[in-house]
Amino acid sequence: MKLSAPIYHLKRRAKRLSRDENIPLHEALDRVAVEEGYVGWSLLAARHATAEPNRLGPGDLVLIGARPGQGKTLKSLELAVEAMKAGHRAYFFTLEYTVKDVIDRFPAIGADYAAFAERFEIDCSDAISASYITQKLAQAPRGTLVVVDYLQLLDQRRENPNLGEQVLSLRSFARERGVIMVFISQIDRSYDADTKPFPDIQDIRLPNPLDLRLFDKTCFLNRGGALFQSVP
């Protein structure tokens, strides 16, 4: 059964319901699940976990793209949380946010940061680049999930290699070490949501050349929906 919105949006709806009606969160989650056609949240969550086509494997490079405010950061955090629930570590490299900014987004996906703090590292260094990331991940075990926020900022410093070289380097590292890399990406302002339900790979904003075939999978977000696809 298809959900009316991504699961993190449903969790957010349940939190608002819990707050507005002063009811326990588990009760609010069950009410939202019933609205979606399930007898309870646990069943919805279980079906969602097996049905959503976002299964990622060691070595995958994933591109998450959307216009501002459509949930790119939340979706990447949701993937990180799922990896940590499965016993893996996760890293969040960001040139956009502070540590507090990232932590403050956990409640929006129905997660408690404290429960994952030992498995989750947030890095906000101005030096973030492909070489910086691979150095930081030197001891990362297979299955680690890495979020890079965001793609178009990797080569903003003149001393960094061009974007294509950096992504190629990270792809080789991911393949060799069996880590999963999720890149948050901007979408060009020319994208028109009224004529196309979701952006696609042609809508990725590329101020500098990059072969998008280096990525294995894409996830495009718009108006509460998510579209996962493999890159041809």
Q: Match 């947030």 to its residue by tokens.
A: 122
What are the tens digits of pLDDT across the range 152-178?
A: 999 989 899 999 999 999 999 999 999
pLDDT band at 48 (very low <50, low <70, confident <90, very high): low
Q: Is residue 225 one of the residues assigned to a domain?
A: yes
60 C-beta neighbours (distance < 10 Å), count: 20
Do 66 and 123 have their domain in common? yes
Q: In 3D, which of 109, 110, 106 has the Cα closest to residue 120?
A: 106
Residue 71 lies in a domain: yes
For residue 83, the domain's CATH number is: 3.40.50.300
* Residue 159 in domain: yes
- Judge whether 144 and 88 are in contact, CB under 8 Å: yes
- Whether residue 113 sits in one domain with residue 19: no
Give the burial string for 156-178 (b: 16+ CB within 10 Å, else e): eeeebeebeebbbbbbebbeebe
**Whether residue 69 is found in the same domain as residue 41:** no
Residues 23 and 130 in one domain: no
Rounded-to-integer distance, Cα 90 and Cα 103, Å: 13
Residues 57, 155, 121: CA angle, nearest 5 degrees: 50
Q: Is the residue at 29 inside a domain? A: yes
How confident is the model over 98-150, as pLDDT tens digits? 999 999 999 888 899 999 999 999 999 999 999 999 999 999 999 999 999 99
Do 144 and 164 fall into the same domain? yes
**Residue pointed to by tokens 């969602």:** 48
Q: Please check whether residue 106 lies inside any domain of the structure.
A: yes
Residue 56 lies in a domain: no
Residues 104 and 40 in one domain: no
Residue 42 in this model has a pLDDT that exceeds 90: no
In a shared domain, residues 44 and 139: no
Domain that holds residue 167: 61-230
pLDDT in tens, 17-40: 999 999 998 899 899 989 998 888
Looking at the 3D structure of the chain, how many domains does it have?
A: 2
Report which secondary-structure segment, H or E, holds 155: none
Tell me the chain's radius of gyration from C-alpha atoms: 18
Asked if residue 1 belongs to a domain, the reply is no
In eight-state DSSP terms, residue 232 is: -
pLDDT of the residue at 52: 47
Could you give the 3-state DSSP secondary structure of residue 187? Answer: strand
Which of 219, 187, 185 is closest to 60 using CA atoms? 219
